[in-house]
Amino acid sequence: MTLVLRDVSVLRHVLQRPPKEDEKFEELCQHATRVTETTCQSFDEGLTHLARNDVYVIAAGSCLISWKYFEPIKRDLPELLAFKDSIVSEARRIVGDLRRRWNTTLVGMHVRRDDHTGFMAYWKGHKPVTPDYLHRAMTYFRVLLGSVHFVVASDEREWCRQRLTQGVDDVTILTPRSAEMDMAVLSLTDHMIISVGTFGWWAGYLNPGVKTYMQDFVVPGSEFSGVFKSVSARDYFYPGWIPL
């Protein structure tokens, strides 16, 4: 089947092999069958059994973020989702400089705060990453590896500076560049500390090493907490990722 999107301008800028953009998108959609996940951020096996000769529109509200969607093609993902050479070469330069400077294992850390700290985000159930979790994860890797250096990408760098760098010399907060550069750098580190959200999820999924995630990342009793009950949570977090 061929994936067709309405607008691939961002992906064309970022990916080596962006999806197809079709001028007849609107016409195709008029005759399409609309499909959606049963529950966002869970695995819907029905979406993996679509008839190949039909046209489908993935309806709004579908996240397609379960690892189970991608497991059958996991070996192909590095090629399918490859960043442009210019992005990869710069990310490798950044990571290479860090390796030469610190001469130790690098642990990427994604800290998403900005859009998860407001009232509406909390009301829906999105809980921002906490310093307690980040320090637990850092301690976990310090004990596991002995020598380690943390590479932090965040939308609130000053917040990270105040809470993660005091009294230690094993943390580097990346200079702001672009979202794709942050993800490329994080994917090239040895291990990964995931905070919250899909950006960190994908950075972790593309990273080859050990991953930790914040286990209490939803507000209890909220709308969002209902999404991650039992089966859905197992659909979302990859087996072997470590809850802390």
66-100 CB burial, b ≥16 within 10 A, e <16: bbebbeeeeeeeeeebebbeebbebbeebbeebbe
Same domain, 188 and 94: yes
Q: pLDDT at position 151, please?
A: 98
| Distance set, CA 163 to CA 117, 151, 158, 227 (Å) | 16, 14, 9, 30
For 212, list phi and psi in degrees, rounded to 5: -115, 155
Tell me, yes or no, whether 215 and 150 share the same domain: yes
In whole angstroms, what is the distance from residue 91 CA to residue 180 CA? 10
- Specify whether the CB–CB gap between 129 and 212 falls below 8 A: no
**HSE of 199, CA atoms in CB hemisphere, 13 A:** 21
Same domain, 68 and 87: no
Same-domain check for residues 68 and 132: no
The pair phi, psi for residue 83, each rounded to 5°, is: -70, 160
What pLDDT was estimated at residue 44? 87
Same domain, 98 and 166: yes
In order along its 244 residues, the chain shows pLDDT tens digits of 777 777 778 888 999 988 877 677 777 777 788 888 887 778 888 888 888 777 787 776 677 888 999 999 989 988 889 999 999 999 999 999 999 999 999 999 999 876 655 555 665 666 778 899 999 999 999 999 999 999 999 988 999 999 999 999 999 999 988 999 999 999 999 999 998 888 899 999 999 999 999 888 777 777 667 666 666 778 888 999 999 9
The model's pLDDT over 139-193, given as tens digits with 9 standing for 90+, comes to: 999 999 999 999 999 988 999 999 999 999 999 999 988 999 999 999 999 999 9
Q: What per-residue confidence (pLDDT) applies to 236?
A: 85
pLDDT given at position 229: 66
Q: Give the up-direction half-sphere exposure of residue 124: CA atoms within 13 A in the CB hemisphere.
A: 9
Query: What pairs with residue 166 in β-bridges?
Result: none
pLDDT of residue 118: 55
Indicate the residue among 27, 45, 76 that finishes a domain.
76
Output the pLDDT for position 82.
Answer: 94
Instruction: Specify the number of domains making up the chain.
Output: 2
CB 155 within 8 A of CB 113: yes
| Spatial CA neighbour of 196 closest among 204, 187, 188 | 204
Q: Minimal CA–CA distance to 154: which of 133, 129, 118?
A: 129
Residue 23 belongs to domain spanning: 4-76
Coil, strand or helix: which one is 5? strand
Q: Are residues 117 and 186 in the same domain?
A: yes
- Return the pLDDT at 61: 65
18 three-state secondary structure? coil
Q: Which residue among 28, 49, 76 closes a domain? A: 76
pTM of the model: 0.88
